[in-house]
Amino acid sequence: AQKVTQAQTEISVVEKEDVTLDCVYETRDTTYYLFWYKQPPSGELVFLIRRNSFDEQNEISGRYSWNFQKSTSSFNFTITASQVVDSAVYFCALSDPYGGSQGNLIFGKGTKLSVKP
Amino acid sequence: EAGVVQSPRYKIIEKKQPVAFWCNPISGHNTLYWYRQNLGQGPELLIRYENEEAVDDSQLPKDRFSAERLKGVDSTLKIQPAELGDSAVYLCASSFSRDGADGGELFFGEGSRLTVL
């Protein structure tokens, strides 16, 4: 069965601090996708990144970076120099593009990030 | 480009009453999803449509929930009768899937928050 674990329920940092959100996943599939979504107080889930299982290169986008390690089944997300606008709930998700439930995103429980000025 | 539109944003009803949620996906997106998000949890898939066909409704409680996607565009999710445990945010998402495979980005609406008293 597929599963996503985000062990950190809540994290609080002061502006300009770096913060890493952890994500550990379980799947028996060899082909899969991993995602991060941001959910601000408005409620809409905002797509941040998608990674396929064959691409372990780390990615950087501005202040955001992602570390994908298949050996530890982890897909961690780091925000550098955090800002108050980064305050939101962040979800890690997993999908199997070819299986019986293709397109179904399996979400973790989310990590609530609070960035204080 | 308009995003995924959902209505109503908020609904308060008494138990045993019926309720319906409407979703208009992004133009051109052939795949539509309904997710339910309980407080403090990640979203969970209820049903997925490919055009007008429900291809995954295994998580939909069929005794009280129903959904339709007429003409493969807009969709309606209905609960009748509602129970206290149905209080949640109901999220609609859409994507464009190709060749029977998915793994692409899901675009989410802002959700419909249901409170059952």
Identify the pLDDT of residue B2: 81
Which amino acid does the sequence have at B111? G
Put simply, whether A109 touches B (Cβ < 8 Å) is yes
Residues A112 and B111 sit within 8 Å (Cβ to Cβ) = no
Contacts of A52 in chain B (CB under 8 A): 103
Identify the pLDDT of residue A97: 59
**Which ranges of chain B have pLDDT less than 70?**
1, 98-104
Inter-chain residue contact B95 with A103, CB threshold 8 Å: yes
Distance of alpha carbon A23 from alpha carbon A8, whole angstroms: 9
**Which ranges of chain A have pLDDT less than 50?**
100-101
Interface of B with A (CB under 8 A): 3, 31, 33, 40-45, 48, 56, 58, 89, 91, 93, 95, 97, 100-111, 113
Distance of alpha carbon A26 from alpha carbon A1, whole angstroms: 7
> Could you tell me the two tokens for B69?
């996607």
Cβ-in-10-Å burial (0-12, 13-18, 19+) of B85 comes to: exposed
End-to-end C-alpha distance for chain B, whole angstroms: 37
Residue B105, sorted as left (phi over 0), alpha (psi -120 to 50) or beta, turns out to be: beta
Q: Closest Cα of chain A to B19: distance in Å?
A: 20
Distance of alpha carbon B45 from alpha carbon B55, whole angstroms: 12
DSSP three-state, residue B70:
helix
Identify the pLDDT of residue A85: 95
Distance of alpha carbon A46 from alpha carbon B94, whole angstroms: 13
Closest CA to B108 of A79, A1, A107, A111: A107
Residue B79, sorted as left (phi over 0), alpha (psi -120 to 50) or beta, turns out to be: beta
> Could you tell me the two tokens for B91?
């999220």
Contacts of B91 in chain A (CB under 8 A): 45
Residues B46 and B59 sit within 8 Å (Cβ to Cβ) = yes
Residues above pLDDT 70, as percent of chain B: 93
Inter-chain residue contact B110 with A43, CB threshold 8 Å: yes
Distance of alpha carbon B99 from alpha carbon B104, whole angstroms: 12
Distance of alpha carbon A1 from alpha carbon A11, whole angstroms: 28
Of B42, B101, B105, which has the smallest distance from its Cβ to A110's Cβ?
B42
Put simply, whether A91 touches B (Cβ < 8 Å) is yes
Contacts of B100 in chain A (CB under 8 A): 102
Q: If you count them, how many residues does chain A have?
A: 117
Which residues, at least 6 apart from A80, have a Cβ–Cβ distance to it below 8 Å? Answer: A18, A63, A64, A65
Put simply, whether A90 touches B (Cβ < 8 Å) is no
